[in-house]
Structure 1
């Protein structure tokens, strides 16, 4: 049985891809077949094969199922700006129903674990009356929340968790991520982590220390997938 989850963050630049890739690697280390989708990615580079996004390429490296780039990242946009603005400038229309079909194709590909990584935070606009959060709603997916441990993280995490639950989706777990370096260490970080563990309505899947190398394999060792895998049994 395939377990599919949607990965979102408290904001942009909180390490969603690092956490998603670490989760995929940890699952692969447990013998699971893994796949991933980055439905929309802005900030892509022109290559001989077409537009390519570094986050999507990281997910392809971390997963162990073989899929073409276009299936992992169906909407690739060049400017590193809000997706709906990048799409408008490119003359493209972002549509949740099309993304839903692509995601369902990956979900039926035979993987044990499929992770669908969002863009930015939870309520990213795609069109005047569509948001990226409409995609996990259409797919009825549980959500993993990546929380960057920095000033304001408790408020951001609680508001995002409330929005997820208000949209009718379960919060399956959350990952604490120290995105910032030692020179930017958050005062009372451990106390803030304790507060988040006490009041977020989901298990903490792990705390990812800051990693200058950016190697998601290092992060995988700090994750506990059992709350996710046990819920699928």
Structure 2
């Protein structure tokens, strides 16, 4: 049975992509892969996801690129005299026997990976469906709908929205305006841990599988 990849992207940086990636990985007992990691001082997102996972079926795979500077990937790569290439990412994509592979992007869709290409171009080249992560804050409607517009411009297949945190209850408006389905909403927690991830994974699993 062929592996079904899923790409997790967000409406910006710091919107909870790694937490949502862990929850989706746990829900599907999927493998996990972050193609580009920028910033190593505080650990990697792969390490964070690994710490949140309870099931024994998940394998966390090595990044295609590990960059030291916590900055936009094209800047972090330039600091190390590296040019990020989509074909390198394609070749590094893990081969797995798992039914699902959860892939986590860096920042949002229009984060540059080099002088000509963006995370959206990576998703397009990998030909994978997308889950969009939106965190509720003042201004997130605009950022969410701009993200939805980019998905449509790039003709990216979107599985749906996962909302993170609670500010105001306008998730359904974003769903309606974007035309992309609702997957679930993750409540705010001060200290995410395995138990929280497992609880949220159980909560969204049925809807997630329905949309897949």
2:178 aligned partner: 200
| Structure 2: gaps (5+ residues) | none
Equivalent positions of 1:1-233 (< 5 A) are: 1=1, 2-28=3-29, 34-45=30-41, 53-61=43-51, 62=53, 64-66=57-59, 71-103=61-93, 106=94, 108-178=95-165, 186=167, 189-190=168-169, 192-215=170-193, 217-222=195-200, 223-232=203-212
Structure 1 residue runs of 5 or longer lacking an equivalent are: 29-33, 46-51, 179-184
Cα distance change, pair 204–130 in 1 and its aligned pair in 2 (3 A): same
Q: CA deviation at 1:217?
A: 4.1
Which residue pairs with 1:48 in the alignment? none
Q: Contact (CA 8 Å) 1:36, 1:72: kept in 2 or not?
A: no
Q: Secondary structure at the match of 2:89?
A: helix
Q: Is the 8 A contact 1:37 1:115 kept in 2?
A: yes
Distance in 2 (CA, whole Å) between partners of 1:211 and 1:54 is: 20
* TM-score normalised over the length of structure 1: 0.81
TM-score normalised by length of structure 2: 0.88
The range that moved more, 136-145 or 57-66, is: 57-66
Inter-CA distance 173–220: structure 2 relative to 1 (3 Å threshold): farther
Structure 1 residue ranges (4+ consecutive) displaced by more than 6 angstroms after TM superposition: none
Give the number of aligned pairs: 206
Aligned alpha-carbon RMSD (Å): 2.0
Deviation at 1:174, TM superposition (A): 0.9
How far is 1:219 from its partner? 4.1
Classify the secondary structure of the residue corresponding to 1:123: coil
